[in-house]
Structure 1
């Protein structure tokens, strides 16, 4: 088995200063335009290919955490860990002649985690093997998405929490086909299977059957009928006590806290309360400037890569010029490149979008 469990990474970590370690990366395949990205000033004080641990990460979000968003996010924060959108294993397997379109990314996006979804062991194994050539820093299995297409018709996502035996087998298959850590993103429960004891059974089974030693815990249960995905992010109550109990009961496992965290102050408070790591979703997308802009300094104690939003937009313009129309006349197009900017609140977002469109050189 070529994969390493999270705790098995420790021998390959390079001590930096007491309590802080850097993770070494490996060479891989990246988008051809990666060298054209102009970082803001001194983007990192770390040696090339070395990263700080995932104290803060941006959640995988379908239709949102694409290459464009991740490029902008990396310009704002050098040290936040980024996740891809969920890629269905069958998509990777059946599109193997077009893998770069789905899996390639600029080298500057490290550290980055690939999230995959699926319920077929063979396809999960094949997809992981195909993705391993792209040098992702971790492979994550989606066991938390409650959407009808995924957990309903697709029979994966949050529905996998009904079958911890299968998840354990799936994680073992994924781990056997990559040489990086593997992890699971899940809810605290699903439908009426939402007791803390059932959550412990899920974690214990996956840990016992695979080298998985990292779980991202969305501290809400998922309701697979009667609620939309958006409602599933708000209606089921948050139970942070489940998360902190897991820290106590599984000391050999790393847990990332996800769900309901909207400000950098809440992130810092969670870490002070003992959270191993924290993941933020919509707040990091809807207002990247106020969330990601403080991660490097407040969470990691490191300098921020850019001093102004204009610097960030000018650097992002270089990326925009290099990628626009790469896969056809309108793939990607300007709207896809700027949608995460327009999500910024009110008039501020509109002004930023106008500035960027002015900077972007159309060819």
Structure 2
């Protein structure tokens, strides 16, 4: 259908390899109807060389809209072919990865965040992607990498990519990447956040759309960023590890919809139907542990959560269905937790972005 048929991307869940798969996105959509969801990053070569098995990588349920496909790569021909193959699946936007610092990415053909050093190629890649799809295209990047982390260098990247391609939307992870051997997890913590770069981009490129990413962990902080002018806000690990308190408040607190009356028991009942259908259809790939994994954050911060997760881990050794696993373990969670609807609660800072309004 395309992005114009859905609410604006004021809130989105970041693409996370081995995390934002079909299972997580199914759970996320049961909790929030309006959040924008991203796939894991898919290498263009994976799509091109798996033409006989595309559903495994590209298929998703229609309820997952609005949904963005993120692809990565550094070969224009493969990017073109991958986009062509993905287009029939009806994604609402195609995003190009210029921000991943994982050694598996930057060390394999030099793509991900390394591409920020070659804005001319990124512009060419975006032209190729846009020419092979009928939906908007976007770039996800960092504010720089290693010693190339000045605001002027970031502006040069944004200017060249936007002026030489149809790209009008950039997702900015407000940290630089360090490619000195530190882990992807450390790259999410060690480089300092520089929100001032993001807000300066809003000022200096008024015709472009920018989504802020990095260090934002609550709905209050999402709204604080938007109150200071952010076009959109993207959360990663917080939306995965605490989906009830994050995604559960997106529709009401960010988009102004009535507060969702669904309970966690109802979410689990619906997810169980999905999960068992997947297990029946595909057998051991994915296995039941893969399907259960997104549920492990559903009771984050609640009484008996740790005990429940321990019991789930034990049940996974012998349970063959999601239904039997839930029947065996949910007794550890208090009834009042299972049956309580989502409620509005203060969850974080409301002034963390004020000082970053200008560079």
TM-score, normalisation: structure 2:
0.84
Q: Which residue of 1 aligns with 2:108?
A: 153
Q: CA deviation at 1:351?
A: 3.3
Map 1:1-363 to 2 at 5 A. Answer: 24-25=1-2, 50-327=5-282, 329-344=283-298, 345=300, 347-348=304-305, 351=308, 357-358=323-324
Describe the SS at the equivalent of 2:97.
Answer: strand
Q: Which residue of 2 aligns with 1:37?
A: none
**Residues 193-219 of structure 1 deviation map (CA, whole Å, 9 limit, x = unaligned):** 000000000000101111000000000
Q: CA deviation at 1:243?
A: 0.2
Q: CA deviation at 1:265?
A: 0.8
Q: State how far apart, in whole Å, the 2-side matches of 1:112 and 1:324 are.
A: 23
Distance 1:277 1:349, change over 3 A: farther
Larger RCO: 1 or 2 (CA < 8 Å, sep 6+):
1
Contact 1:320–1:360 at 8 Å: present in 2 too? no
Q: Which residue of 2 aligns with 1:13?
A: none
**Residues 241-268 of structure 1 deviation map (CA, whole Å, 9 limit, x = unaligned):** 0000000000110000000001111111
Greater shift, 347-356 or 298-307, is seen at 347-356
**Residues 117-137 of structure 1 deviation map (CA, whole Å, 9 limit, x = unaligned):** 000000001000100000000
Q: State how far apart, in whole Å, the 2-side matches of 1:341 and 1:349 are.
A: 13
CA RMSD of aligned residues (A): 2.0
The ranges of structure 1 where at least 4 consecutive aligned residues each deviate by more than 6 angstroms after the TM superposition are none
Q: CA deviation at 1:348?
A: 2.1
Describe the SS at the equivalent of 1:179.
Answer: coil
Describe the SS at the equivalent of 1:293.
Answer: helix
Q: Which 5+ residue runs of structure 1 have no aligned equivalent?
A: 1-23, 27-48
Describe the SS at the equivalent of 2:107.
Answer: helix
Q: Which 5+ residue runs of structure 2 have no aligned equivalent?
A: 316-321, 328-359
Q: State how far apart, in whole Å, the 1-side matches of 2:257 and 2:307 are.
A: 30
TM-score, normalisation: structure 1:
0.83
